[in-house]
Structures are given as structure tokens and as C-alpha cells.
Structure 1
Amino acid sequence: MSLSPYVPIVGLFALAALFALFSVAIAPFVGPRRYNRAKLDAYECGIEPTPQPIGGGRFPVKFYLTAMLFIVFDIEIIFLYPWAVSFNQLGVFGFIEMILFIGTVFVAYAYVWRRGGLDWD
């Protein structure tokens, strides 16, 4: 077994790691250093920070439905890409399986839509 096909992948990972390390290491030297009280405070989306969450600490269900929708479609994309790459080898069986998978994802999407997860009044 030859490892030569994996050399470009390992090189890409090494290049990505070097870029990340370089970016983190050089940021304190090239970034601005004009700090003030507003920049050092915690950012709360324009709302003054409070010690207790507003409303007793409960989040609306829409936040969880949106997170669920993101996860469902993220997983769908992860499975769609390899399927599209090997579509010719899978044949009719792969096509039927993907139709069933997309139907299942559509059921989750319809559930979120019905529950009002897409309405941001």
C-alpha cells in the first residue's frame, strides 16, 4: 500500500495548521491597541449586560427549532456531497435511498415550519 495519494491531503492540513498558528501568533503585533471601556465590556447585542437573563432565563422555542433546522440541513449537505460524487456507481438503489433521505429531511423541515420556527416576528 502506497501512501503517496495522501501526501497532498497531509500537506493541505499542514498548511492550514501553519496558517492558523501564524494568524494567532502575529495578531497581537499587527492589531490595533487602542482599548477603551466599551471595547473591554462584554458584548450583549447592544443591550446593557445584566446579571440575570431577562424573562427568567427561558428562551423561546424558536431558538431551538432554528438550531434543529440548522443541524438537519447541515447533516443533509454532509450526506448529499458524497452521494453526488458517486451517483453513477450507486445506480437506482442509491437514488431511491436518497429520495427517502430527502423525504425524511423534508418532514423535519415541515415540522419546524408548522411550529413557527421560520417566523421571526
Structure 2
Amino acid sequence: MLDLSQYLPILIFLGIALLLSAAFVFLPIGVSYLTGSRSPSAEKLSEYECGFPAFEDSRSQFDVRFYLVAILFIIFDLEAAFLFPWAVSLDLTGWPGWITMMIFLGELAIGLAYAWKKGALDWE
């Protein structure tokens, strides 16, 4: 027969964690419901992020250059993420690893030069 008494401290810990997390979520909601006003004023409904009303519809489309810059940032951020483990393991990979990384960096440099020449990095 299995002795399940060893799991009792874990169950107690999980129960306390569940109660505390529920208290941290639902207690502030309940307190704000009991103490807060339920009729929002015009001042409460006003813009709070930038301080002035939006110029146009909030669902307007972004310029495609924004997305190009974002994609280029992700690409070069991933390049930096690949460089760190490569630099740490360079003694294990030797010359083949170094040559492979130089080819990878060359391809990225060609891509950056192409994007630069096409004007993807220009911001008006």
C-alpha cells in the first residue's frame, strides 16, 4: 500500500499558494468595487497616455518602413544572440567554425547594405 502522507506538506503548500494568489487577485477587485465610484466622469474617460486627443483613428495603418526597421532590428538582435555562444565555443569549433561565422556575418552585411541602399533605414 502506498504511503501518501509524504505528500501532505506539498498539498498544504499548494493550498496556501492558491489562497494567497486568489487573495492578491480578488481582494483588490473587491475593495475597488466597494470603495470606487461607478459613474465615470469626462475627465476619467479622457486621454491619459499622451495628454492630448488622437489626431486620427487609432486603427490607422502604419507605414511599411516601421515594419522593415522592426524586422531588421530582430535580425541583427538574433545575430548578436548567435555571436555569444559562437565566441564561447570557438576553441572547440576551430577554423571551420570561424569560417562559417564569417560567412554568416558576410551574408548579414550584404543584407544590411541592400536594405540601406533601398532606403529601408531612412526615416522621414
TM-score, scaled relative to structure 2: 0.55
Identity %: 41
1:48 and 2:40 are equivalent in the alignment: no
Give secondary structure in 2 for the equivalent of 1:58: coil
Alignment of 1:1-121 (within 5 A): 37=43, 41-44=47-50, 48-49=53-54, 52-53=57-58, 57-121=60-124
Contact 2:47-2:53 at 8 Å conserved across structures: no
Gaps of 5+ in 1: 1-36
Select the structure with the greater relative contact order (CA < 8 A; seq sep ≥ 6).
1
Give secondary structure in 2 for the equivalent of 1:112: helix
Q: How many aligned positions are there?
A: 87
Distance 1:88 1:81, change over 3 A: same
Give the drift of 1:95.
0.5
Contact 1:42-1:49 at 8 Å conserved across structures: no
1:34-54 deviation digits (Å, cap 9, x = unpaired) = xxx48x62525x662256248
Amino acid at match of 1:49: A
Distance 2:117 2:62 in 1: 19
TM-score, scaled relative to structure 1: 0.56
For 2:33, the equivalent position in structure 1 comes to: none
Give the drift of 1:60.
1.7
Distance 1:58 1:111, change over 3 A: farther
Q: Report the RMSD for the aligned CA atoms in angstroms.
A: 3.3
Contact 2:68-2:120 at 8 Å conserved across structures: yes
Amino acid at match of 1:75: L
Distance 1:71 1:98, change over 3 A: same
Gaps of 5+ in 2: 1-42
